Amino acid sequence: MAEVPRAVAHHFDDFAQQHEASTLGMWAFLVTEIMFFGGMFLGYLIYRGSYPGAFAEASNHMDIILGTINTAVLIASSLTVVLSVHAAHEDKQKALLIFLALTVFLGLVFLGIKFTEYAHKFDEQLFPGMNFRYDGENPRHAAIFFSFYFAMTGLHALHMVIGIGIFLVLMVSAWRGRYSKHYFTPVEMSGLYWHFVDVVWIFLFPLFYLLGRHS
């Protein structure tokens, strides 16, 4: 069977160079994302160190069931991402499309649950700056906990939305037969991005939902 020509952009010498550049580029981008989230993680850690009691108590207001479900959903979505990359590698077009679609679906489930949690928090008046009401020992310090909660999970959710958008685009391209075992770089790179967003959640979950819980 004739070799399918690989898509190589005009400025690269060959496919290998293009693939190397794409991979290095995505990893470099993820490093910037680490620094981006990192600023807020640092802020969170500093205030947690200053107000450990208030943070632990505020953590009890998190909905641990929904949080745990979301964690499972995201980990499952990372699995579907890996499976989609694998499908592309094996030239299995139908499997690729299915796993891309599953990833999008799981991402939407995550966002739906997150949106539900946010709605609960608004109802309980736990959004700082908008009728914040807190019956614990130190409302001001608890408010800082919730400020970081909304800022960090909000930024994470924004990244999820972008990720879902990217995977929708991948689905369209896959539908059009753009990917094959000779060329599936965008699937790989988007997969890296999705895994990163997942890992950020793996850090967010214990820091907000699990610390200092009383049973």
Partner 1 sequence: MKAEKLDYPTEPRRHYLNADYGVMSWLFTVDHKRIALLYLGTITVMFFIGGAAAVLFRLELATPQGDVVISETYNKLFSAHGIIMVFFFLIPSIPATLGNFLVPMMIGARDLAFPRLNLLSWYLLVIGAVFALGAVLAGGVDTGWTFYTPYSSVYSNTFVVVTIIGVFLAGFSSILTGLNFIVTIHTMRAPGLTWFRLPLFIWAHYATSMINLLGTPVVAITLGLVVLEGVFGLGIFNPTLGGDPVLFQHLFWFYSHPAVYIMVLPSMGVVSEVITCFSRKRIFSYRFVAFSSIAIAVLGFLVWGHHMFVSGQSLYASMIFSLLSMFVAIPSAVKVFNWTATLYGGSISYATPLLYGLGFIGLFTVGGLTGVLIASLGVNVHVHDTYFIVAHFHYIMVGGALMGYLGGLHYWWPKISGRIYPEGWAKFAALIIFVGFNLTFFPQFILGYLGMPRRYHVYPEEFQVLNVMSSAGASILGIGYIIPMIYLVWSMRYGKPAGANPWGSTGLEWQTPSPPPTYNFEKTPIITREVYDYRKQESHG
Partner 2 sequence: MSPGFHLFPEQASTMAPRVDALYFYLVGISVFFSLLIFTLVIYFAIKYRRGFEEEEPPPEMRDILALEVTWIVVPLILALIAFFWGANVYYALARPPQNALEIFVVGRQWMWKFQHPDGQREINQLHVPLGRPVKLTLASEDVIHSFFIPAFRVKYDVVPGRYTTIWFEATQPGQFHLFCAEYCGTQHSGMIGQVVVLEPEQYEAWLGGELGAPRAVAGLPTSRPVPEGSLTAKGQQLFRDLGCQVCHRMEKQGIGPVLTGVFGSQVKLQSGETVTADESYVRESILNPQAKITAGFQPLMPPFQGRINEEEVMQLVAYIKSLGQTQAGNRQGAVSSTK
Determine, following the binding rule CB under 8 A, whether residue 87 of this chain makes contact with partner 1. no
The entry of partner 1, partner 2, none near residue 31 (CB within 5 to 8 angstroms by kind) is partner 1
List b or e across 31-51, with b for residues whose CB sees 16 or more CB atoms inside 10 angstroms.
eeeeeebeeebeebeebbeeb
Token duo for residue 119: 């709605």
The entry of partner 1, partner 2, none near residue 112 (CB within 5 to 8 angstroms by kind) is none
Q: Which residue has the tokens 């020509």?
A: 5
Q: What three-state secondary structure class fits 186?
A: helix
Q: How far apart are CA 103 and CA 83, in angstroms?
A: 10
Contacts of 214 (CB under 8 A, 6+ apart): 60
Determine, following the binding rule CB under 8 A, whether residue 40 of this chain makes contact with partner 1. yes
126 contacts 61 by C-beta, under 8 angstroms: yes
- In this complex, which beta carbon is closest to partner 1, that of residue 101 or of residue 199? 199
Q: Which residue has the tokens 């009890």?
A: 60
Q: What angle do CA 70, 143, 133 make, to 5 degrees?
A: 95
Shortest Å, Cβ 82 to partner 1: 24
Residues of the shown chain interacting with partner 2 in the complex, contacts defined by CB under 8 A: 50-54, 137-138, 140-141
Contact residue for partner 1 among 1, 2, 3, 11 (CB under 8 A): 11
Determine, following the binding rule CB under 8 A, whether residue 144 of this chain makes contact with partner 1. yes
- In this complex, which beta carbon is closest to partner 2, that of residue 140 or of residue 213? 140
Shortest Å, Cβ 59 to partner 2: 17
The entry of partner 1, partner 2, none near residue 137 (CB within 5 to 8 angstroms by kind) is partner 2
Shortest Å, Cβ 151 to partner 2: 21
Determine, following the binding rule CB under 8 A, whether residue 141 of this chain makes contact with partner 1. yes
Determine, following the binding rule CB under 8 A, whether residue 29 of this chain makes contact with partner 1. yes
Q: Cα–Cα distances in Å, from 135 out to 54, 123, 195, 205?
A: 11, 15, 38, 23
The entry of partner 2, partner 1, none near residue 115 (CB within 5 to 8 angstroms by kind) is none
- Residues touching partner 1: how many (CB under 8 A)? 40
- In this complex, which beta carbon is closest to partner 2, that of residue 5 or of residue 129? 129
Contact residue for partner 1 among 10, 94, 176, 214 (CB under 8 A): 10
Closest CA to 73 of 205, 213, 212: 205
Token duo for residue 100: 């891309």
